[in-house]
Amino acid sequence: MSTPTQQRTRPPQGGRVTGKSPVYWLYLLPGGLLFSVIIVVPFVMNVGLSFASWPGVGDIAWIGFDNYTRLFADDTFWASFRNSIAMIIAMVIIPTSVGLLLASVLFDVIGKRFGGRAASTLRALYYLPQILPVAIAGIVMGWILRPQNGALNNILEAVGLGDLAQNWLGDPSTALPSVMAIMVWVQIGYPVVIFMAALQRVDPELYEAAEIDGAGWFRRFRAITIPQIKPETFVVALTCTIAAMKVFGPVFVLTRGGPGDATNVPSYFAYQNFFERANVGYGAAISTVLTLIIIVLSIVFIRFQARSERKERG
């Protein structure tokens, strides 16, 4: 999406590429075709079905905005969106801030004192949960958190903290925090890797000059690291927010939205209606609302990023 905009603002290079060149449109064709088949057509169909009552087979009954009126009065729908906010905390806010700190420590302290290899190894370890298939990670985490014979409770008992043992995923008061903690573990490697890559392109002279001027690590982190890697921070925050809004796999594997609606999220709620309740129209309405929220969030993010970049350029 950003490529054509950037090219329009740049002067044509050697007159080879212009916005009107037919070859240019040819290159867009495969992507455009796939985008239409995989995204646009299903999305339009989904929006269409959100105005219908349909069990998934047979005749479709058009019911106007009924699904939407029902949706906004549905407690489960609102509960699922409240849980989305928890997912944003667990998948965006905590990993991005902790990831920034970790990346900076790995790059600036570990990398310098113990060598690049030590920093790379640690970075790979943080990234490991991102490589694990979510279904497997979820099942293993489910075992660890089991109330009886679960590794976590056993460890707590072994070190004399048996009172802290919980029914982690089975109790509504601990289920959501447990899922959030797992998501932090899953997510943390992504910002660390992106931020470490970003730090590579920051001019080392900036740090050296600051060090000579007597700036400590935290001062350098605040005055150089954070502003210098702002574009990457925006990208991480945006992609993670989208991932948090549409999170499905971990909830499906760990809790199936339960106990009660304690860990239900919009994607799982839509899935339940689509496939479990044979309530395709209602499921489509939930998906449509979710998609619209993600689009609006993305626009806000991108605008905010553009404004911040404009401000920097002065």
Partner 1 sequence: MRTTRSLQAAGLVAASALVLAACGGDDNGGQATGDDGGQATSGGTLSLWHYEGENSAMGIAWDEAMRIFEEETGATVEFEEKSFEQIRQTANMVLNTSEAPDILEYNKGNASAGLLASQGLLTDISDAVAEYGWDEQLAPSVQTTARYDENGVMGDGAWYGIPNYGEFVMLYFNEDLFAEHGVAIPETYDDLVAAMDEFVANDVTPLAMSGAEYPAGQLFYELALSQADRQFVNDYQLYENPVDFSGAALSYGAETFSEWVQAGYIGDYSAGLSAEDMGTAFIAGDYPMLYSGSWWYGRFVDEIDGFDWSIDTFPGSDLHPGSSGNLWVVPTASENKDLAYQFIEITMRPEIQALLGNNGGVPVDADPDDITDEKSEELITVFNEISDADGLAFYPDWPVPGFYDDLVGALQQLINQNATPAEVLEQLQLAYESGLDNVPN
Residues that bind partner 1 (CB under 8 A): 29-31, 33-34, 37, 55-58, 142, 145-148, 167-172, 175, 255-261, 272-273, 275-279
23 burial class (0-12, 13-18, 19+ CB within 10 angstroms)? exposed
> Are the C-beta atoms of 293 and 245 separated by less than 8 Å?
yes
Token pair of 205 as six digits: 């002279």
Residue number, 104 or 264, with CB nearest to partner 1: 264
Residue 102 vs 169, nearer CB to partner 1: 169
At its nearest, how many Å lie between partner 1 and the CB of residue 32?
10
C-beta closer to partner 1: residue 277 or 303? 277
Please check whether residue 172 is in contact with residue 262, taking contact to mean a CB–CB distance below 8 angstroms: yes
Separation of alpha carbons 220 and 66, rounded Å: 56
To partner 1, the closest distance from the beta carbon of 166 in angstroms equals 9
From the CB of 257, what's the least distance to partner 1, in Å? Answer: 7
Measured from the CB atom, the residue of 11 and 30 that comes closer to partner 1 is 30
CB 53 to partner 1: min, Å: 8
At 76, which amino acid appears?
Answer: T
Nearest approach, Cβ of 56 to partner 1 (angstroms)? Answer: 5
**Cβ nearer to partner 1, comparing 241 with 279:** 279
CB 74 within 8 A of CB 303: no
Percent helix, strand and coil across the chain, each to the nearest 5? 75, 0, 25
Q: Which of 255, 58, 241 minimizes the C-alpha distance to 269?
A: 255
